[in-house]
Amino acid sequence: MVALPLRHTWRWVAAGVLGLGFVWLASSLWNNENVDHGTIAKFMFSDQIVHGAVLTIVLTFLAMVLSTILGVVLALMRLSSNPVLSGLAWLYIWVFRGTPLLVQIVFWGYLGLLYKQISLGVPFTDFTVFAIDTNTLIPAFVAGVIALTTNQAAYTAEIVRAGMLSVDPGQKEAAYSLGMTPLFCLLKVELPQAMRVIIPPMGNETISMLKDTALLSLIAVLELYTVAERISAQNLRQVELLVVVSCWYLVLTSVLSVPQYYLERRFGRGSRVLGPTPVGRVVALLRRQPKPRVTDKESL
């Protein structure tokens, strides 16, 4: 007797129906007479759009690196037994997580309306070491990085804190009993175990950050969406430029999902059974040899 695998007929039927629905929707959008395909092809890889995409990547990278550093510091402050440090970190998170990112971007972008100059000197006196125009010190690009960084740091701090709390307290006690310093214990014992909890939400935050850069159009930062918006204001092809922008965002977010997947596998070793990677599945499928058929006579 030969055991046959369980067949999931309705699963494939549902997948086929959904696939046909997706093809129909894509076809109706593509064949819409109100969509100019020539405009999409013209601007998909134009110099302006590519430059905007590069600036979007730079903004995302800078904001995530800086916010991760600041978020780790805030998380350690929140976990500190010092009530002053813990209170300051809580206040920071309360302010920047409780106000909309849009408001924070506008605040930093128009900081020059509040303070015309930023100076360094002795408080309550006229003595000034130096003074510089606010808009010169904080142009639109810098204001955008500051806004994205300070906002994201509040969320990163809570993610890191949750990861640190997921580590068994006995791990820290055992490390201290072996003579490890607090910093060495943090880097070698706590963080490696906390990363399996930290990586998935941080990957999602990175993808969200990539898309949140579009909000910087309010302060005229020439990232991907702002460039497309300015082009569409000239040729009045808003839908076509939105298609171009959507394609770029889909490609960039798909690329960012790859390192997230492998980082999750890397730090998830030992905590769960890891299946083969997508590449491994394809290789295994190509190498699979057909099994010889067994007749009833041979089985007997």
Spatial distance between the Cα atoms of 242 and 225, rounded to a whole number of angstroms? 8
Is residue 239 in some structural domain? Answer: yes
Segment 221-226 mean pLDDT: 94
Give percent of the chain with pLDDT exceeding 90. Answer: 54
Q: What is the maximal distance between C-alpha atoms in the chain?
A: 104
Is residue 234 in some structural domain? Answer: yes
The CATH number given to whatever domain includes residue 49 is 1.10.3720.10
What's the pLDDT tens digit per position in 128-169?
777 888 888 899 999 999 999 999 999 999 999 999 998 888
Residue 207: per-residue pLDDT: 95
Residue-range definition of the domain harbouring residue 67: 41-117+132-269
> How high is the mean pLDDT of the chain?
87
Is residue 48 in some structural domain? Answer: yes
- Cβ contact 148:212 at 8 Å: yes
Of 185, 157, 194, nearest to 79 (Cα)?
Answer: 157
Residue 122: per-residue pLDDT: 78
Is residue 4 in some structural domain? Answer: no
How many domains is the chain partitioned into structurally?
A: 1
Is residue 230 in some structural domain? Answer: yes
Is residue 159 in some structural domain? Answer: yes
The DSSP line for 114-181 is H-SEEEEE-TTSS-EEEEEEHHHHS-HHHHHHHHHHHHHHHHHHHHHHHHHHTS-HHHHHHHHHTT--
DSSP 8-state class, residue 290: P
What's the pLDDT tens digit per position in 233-277?
999 899 999 999 999 999 999 999 998 888 888 877 766 666 667
Please, which pLDDT band fits residue 202 given cuts at 50, 70 and 90? Answer: very high
Segment 11-31 mean pLDDT: 90
Is residue 103 in some structural domain? Answer: yes
Specify the pTM: 0.83
Is residue 221 in some structural domain? Answer: yes
Segment 75-96 mean pLDDT: 94
Residue 8: per-residue pLDDT: 75
Tokens of 231: 């082009």
